[in-house]
Amino acid sequence: MKVNDLLAHGFKALCLTDGDREIDGVYVGDLLSWVMGRAQMDNAWITIMSNVNVVAVASLADTSCVILAEGVALPEDVRETAEAKDVNILGSDDPIYETAVKLAALLN
């Protein structure tokens, strides 16, 4: 499944620079170092953190996209940084658990 494909399932594009990227698995977490230690390359990463460091972590850990759950807003300066670093960020109004469950169903 590609990042773009999520848009047809209620996920919102907050910053989409490489929508053709494949999603391989999902990781959920808000502690950035924990995520860097555990998330796999090409995972979709679900979090409620929306500061600029999330962009750095997503870029370095090479996740396919960040999904901001719980309707968390993306600050404009963070969106600009994500755009510059080619980091996909989507939004979900659902709580984290429901977002993960939905994603799991789509990926299986």
Binding residues for another protein, rule: CB under 8 A, are: 30-34, 36-37, 41, 49, 51-54, 56-57, 59-62, 85
Residues 6 or more apart from 95 whose CB is under 8 A from it? 69, 70
Strand pairing category for 26-28 and 65-68: unpaired
Beta carbon nearer to another protein, 4 or 59? 59
Beta carbon nearer to another protein, 33 or 108? 33
Contact 18, 86 (CB under 8 A): yes
CB of 108 to another protein, least distance (A): 25
